[in-house]
């Protein structure tokens, strides 16, 4: 952290923090995620302002006891990092086995750290963090599609009355590597029956699920197949 802070230096740090937050927020907003452009800009700017204020307090503290100076300097940024958890928790949604918003919450937390870096004068660290965030959000999602990682999903199979029964469908799902955790069957003597299963699988997304849906649709008597990935 710099021992001197001019107005131009402080303004540059704040602008860079808002620019970094804007780039990350634009990327998230373009993909219709909850924390978009305005949220990330405000969070990053607030973190930068807190660090600038800590910088000013550090410079203006006449006490020569290093331990007290460090305590005064770090109180604001530590409070910001603790408080940002409330915003992160607000964007996480859990409904049954469906969990959404964890990546958005992590993005908000990391945007806060980037703002602290710019506010504290660590320009290179803030720029590196911005590049890492953008690369992680934009590039790794394509890598995930081809890597066989553990995922979760829900499959619904609606069949005619003379279509495949529950045992046959469960046997096919297990043979394809779908580990069933919960299942629900709705039977109708006229309309047929419907099986809804949730579970885990390992495979490239979305190729694995698309292949499974095609195979289920080819079974005699199957009217409809729905798939929802809940990772």
State the pLDDT confidence band at 1, using cuts at 50, 70 and 90: very low
In contact, 201 and 208? CB cutoff 8 Å: yes
Which distant-in-sequence residues (6+ apart) come within 8 Å of 100 by Cβ? 92, 93, 94
* Top-confidence residue, 95 or 166: 166
* Top-confidence residue, 136 or 99: 136
- Give the alpha-carbon dihedral of 27, 40, 81, 66, to 10 degrees: 100
- d(CA 127, CA 117) in angstroms, rounded, equals 9
Please name every residue paired with 93 in a beta bridge, in sequence order, or none if there are none.
100
Reference 152, options 228, 214, 217, 207; nearest CA is 228
pLDDT, average across residues 67-94? 65
Alpha helices in 31-160 (DSSP H): 37-60, 66-90, 102-119, 123-144
Tokens of 169: 């469908």
In tens, the pLDDT along 202-229 reads: 877 778 899 999 999 999 999 999 998 8
Flag whether pLDDT at 57 surpasses 70: no
User: Taking all residues of the chain, what is their mean pLDDT, rounded to a whole number?
Assistant: 78
19-23, 45-49, 56-60, 128-132: range with lowest mean pLDDT: 56-60
- d(CA 160, CA 217) in angstroms, rounded, equals 12
Highest-pLDDT range among 51-60, 140-149, 191-200, 209-218: 209-218
Q: Please, what are the domains in the chain? A: 7-144 (no CATH), 149-229 (3.30.70.60)
Flag whether pLDDT at 89 surpasses 80: no
* Top-confidence residue, 118 or 46: 118
pLDDT, average across residues 158-175? 91
* Top-confidence residue, 161 or 194: 194
The percent of residues in the chain predicted with pLDDT above 70, rounded, is: 73
What does the pLDDT read at residue 73? 61
What does the pLDDT read at residue 193? 87
DSSP states along 7-41:
HHHHHHHHHHHHHHHHHHHHHHHHTT-SS-HHHHH
Please name every residue paired with 187 in a beta bridge, in sequence order, or none if there are none.
193
- d(CA 185, CA 193) in angstroms, rounded, equals 7
The percent of residues in the chain predicted with pLDDT above 90, rounded, is: 22
In tens, the pLDDT along 10-20 reads: 788 888 888 88
Which distant-in-sequence residues (6+ apart) come within 8 Å of 15 by Cβ? none
In tens, the pLDDT along 174-209 reads: 999 999 999 999 887 777 889 999 998 887 777 889
């Amino acid at each position: 952290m710099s021992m001197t802070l001019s107005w131009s230096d402080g303004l540059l740090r704040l602008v860079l923090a808002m620019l970094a937050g804007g780039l990350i927020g634009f990327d998230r907003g373009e993909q219709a995620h909850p924390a978009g452009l305005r949220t990330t800009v405000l969070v990053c700017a607030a973190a930068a302002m807190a660090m600038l204020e800590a910088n000013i307090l550090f410079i203006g503290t006449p006490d020569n006891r290093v331990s007290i100076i460090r305590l005064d300097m770090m109180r604001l940024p530590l409070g910001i990092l603790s408080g940002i958890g409330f915003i992160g928790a607000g964007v996480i949604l859990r409904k049954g086995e469906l969990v959404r918003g964890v990546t958005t919450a992590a993005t908000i937390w990391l945007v806060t750290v980037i703002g602290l870096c710019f506010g504290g004068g660590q320009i290179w660290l803030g720029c590196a963090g911005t590049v890492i965030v953008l690369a992680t959000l934009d590039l790794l999602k394509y890598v995930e599609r081809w890597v066989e990682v553990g995922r979760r999903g829900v499959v619904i199979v609606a069949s005619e009355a003379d279509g495949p029964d529950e045992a046959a469908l469960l046997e096919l799902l297990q043979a394809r590597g779908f580990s069933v955790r919960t299942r629900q069957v709705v039977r109708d003597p006229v309309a047929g029956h419907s099986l809804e299963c949730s579970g885990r699988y390992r495979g490239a997304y979305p190729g694995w699920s698309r292949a499974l849906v095609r195979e289920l649709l080819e079974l005699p008597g199957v009217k409809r197949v729905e798939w929802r990935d809940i990772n």
